[in-house]
């Protein structure tokens, strides 16, 4: 293997899927800067028409793209198909959001001319994508950026370049220049060089808190770059009294184990009031035991596939054993049928007895359970984290939910719904280590263009009424 190659492997089989050369950051940025003026000068209607053509290209290639996502990430084919659907839907949502969030205003002010508010693109935007949703999440940055008049350099996760290549092929076949949307293949070093490059005007990142913090630190002395950080979470799902025990168990399983727990919004901590613990955990344990996990194209279809690679699987097993050895009580053990492949069974562990619980994002199928005496204690426990992405309350009254909503720290707060599966028609982001107050999804338009205030007259007209000597 050449040191200049990036190789993608199928998690479910270990086979090589894709190979490509590492790109040149300086050349890529230079090309983007040269392409930007012409793209920004295109009428908005033209840019919108081109991204709509992109959506049509994705529709035409939907099944092949879904199959590539499944092979490269290991997620079941049914789930990969929903990701492709989200890519298509993002276009119309972004068009509507741009009109609503960055609309033009004119205010006549008589002799003072016209006051106007318009929005301008930033320029060259670097999009750094994750591996868990290798098409949908970067696309959630790319499409709004293009509509606003920016050009884009997309640096995908080094674990999912094949999906990225297919996605950008759809943009290019739609008629968007290969200089306007470029693919930069590379690893961490290329990502760092891209972020730091003076020709990059904005960094739109989705990934871990560790990397997001590093980006924030790197650019702390450079306020000229717009930075939007969408990071992870140590998300709580709190259960108080409810007669709907079976439904609550389903919502917990969906929250914790969809995508093999590889969602930033996945429930990491199940916080249960004492009165619900025994009956609820019996249901959750039984349902978790019924989960089919296997390769993405299996029949019957699995609920979840493997985690992304063996390193990730190793880390999850080590995390489970750490919690077990520090006072955790296993409700369902984590098993790994084949040490050469990253398949993991869904695991549940009661960590109530651990006084110093690690406040980290365990990115895989591992759910920690904590018992509390009442809802107020549950809210306090939910807030025992530096993260603040997603939180959900199951059960309780409207008054209970009002109290939960008012006091829990998170950017996505749900009632009797999973912690994951946020709507693209709403803002998406978190606080603390989960984000930097630059909400994405519907609010992505906010960081893809900046407002410009103007006062304007068709001819210069002015006078000075006081403070001048007679001529």
Active site (catalytic) residues: 230, 264
Q: What is the DSSP string of 216-250?
A: HHHTTT-TTSEEEEE----EEEEE-S-S-HHHHHH
Spatial contact of 64 and 402, defined as CB atoms under 8 Å apart: no
Euclidean distance between CA atoms 346 and 354, whole angstroms: 21
Intra-chain end-to-end CA distance of the chain, in Å = 83
Spatial contact of 271 and 368, defined as CB atoms under 8 Å apart: no
CB burial of residue 124 (10 Å; 0-12, 13-18, 19+): buried
CA dihedral 351, 356, 359, 364 (to 10 degrees): -30
**113: region left, alpha or beta (phi > 0 left; psi from -120 to 50 alpha):** left
What's the Cα-to-Cα distance from 326 to each of 285, 297, 313, 349, rounded to whole Å?
A: 22, 38, 20, 12
Residue 160: closest CA among 137, 141, 140: 137
HSE-up of residue 204 (Cα within 13 Å, Cβ side): 34
Residue 214: closest CA among 236, 239, 188, 235: 188
HSE-up of residue 402 (Cα within 13 Å, Cβ side): 3
Spatial contact of 283 and 247, defined as CB atoms under 8 Å apart: no
CB burial of residue 67 (10 Å; 0-12, 13-18, 19+): middle
- For residue 248 the two structure tokens come to 């609550």
Spatial contact of 415 and 398, defined as CB atoms under 8 Å apart: no
What's the Cα-to-Cα distance from 380 to each of 80, 278, 351, rounded to whole Å?
A: 36, 21, 16
């Amino acid at each position: 293997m050449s040191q200049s190659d990036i190789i993608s492997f199928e998690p479910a089989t270990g086979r090589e899927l894709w190979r490509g050369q590492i790109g040149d950051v300086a050349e890529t940025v230079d090309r983007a800067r040269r392409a930007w003026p012409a793209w920004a000068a295109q009428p908005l209607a033209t840019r919108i028409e081109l991204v709509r053509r992109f959506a049509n290209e994705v529709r035409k290639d939907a099944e092949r793209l879904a199959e590539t996502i499944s092979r490269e990430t290991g997620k079941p084919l049914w789930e990969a198909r929903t990701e492709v659907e989200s890519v298509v839907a993002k276009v119309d949502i972004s068009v509507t959001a741009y009109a609503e969030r960055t609309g033009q205003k004119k205010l006549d002010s008589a002799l003072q001319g016209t006051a106007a508010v318009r929005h301008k693109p930033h320029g060259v935007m670097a999009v750094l994508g994750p591996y868990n949703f290798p098409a949908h999440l970067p696309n959630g940055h790319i499409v709004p950026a293009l509509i606003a008049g920016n050009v884009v350099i997309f640096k995908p996760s080094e674990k999912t370049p094949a999906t990225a290549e297919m996605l950008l092929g759809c943009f290019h076949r739609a008629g968007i220049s290969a200089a306007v949307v470029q693919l930069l293949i590379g690893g961490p070093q290329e990502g760092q060089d891209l972020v730091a490059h003076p020709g990059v005007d904005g960094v739109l990142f989705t990934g871990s808190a560790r990397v997001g913090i590093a980006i924030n630190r790197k650019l702390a002395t450079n306020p000229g770059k717009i930075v939007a950080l969408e990071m992870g979470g140590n998300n709580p799902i709190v259960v108080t009294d409810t007669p709907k025990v079976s439904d609550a168990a389903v919502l917990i399983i969906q929250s914790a184990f969809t995508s093999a727990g590889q969602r930033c919004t996945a429930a990491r901590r199940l916080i249960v009031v004492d009165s619900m613990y025994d009956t609820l955990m019996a249901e959750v344990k039984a349902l978790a035991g019924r989960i089919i996990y296997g390769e993405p194209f299996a029949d019957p279809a699995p609920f979840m596939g493997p985690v992304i690679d063996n390193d990730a699987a190793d880390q999850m097993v080590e995390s489970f054993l750490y919690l077990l050895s520090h006072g955790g009580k296993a409700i369902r053990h984590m098993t790994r049928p084949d040490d050469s492949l990253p398949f993991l069974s869904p695991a549940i562990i009661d960590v109530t007895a651990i006084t110093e619980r690690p406040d980290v994002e365990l990115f895989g199928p591992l759910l920690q359970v904590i018992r509390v005496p009442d809802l107020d204690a549950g809210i306090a426990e939910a807030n025992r984290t530096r993260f603040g992405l997603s939180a959900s309350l199951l059960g309780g009254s409207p008054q209970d939910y009002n109290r939960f909503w008012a006091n829990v720290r998170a950017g996505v707060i749900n009632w009797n719904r999973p912690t994951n599966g946020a709507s693209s028609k709403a803002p998406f982001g978190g606080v603390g280590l989960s984000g930097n107050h630059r909400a994405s999804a519907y609010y992505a338009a906010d960081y893809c263009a900046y407002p410009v205030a103007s006062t304007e007259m068709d001819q210069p007209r002015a006078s000075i009424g006081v403070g001048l000597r007679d001529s």
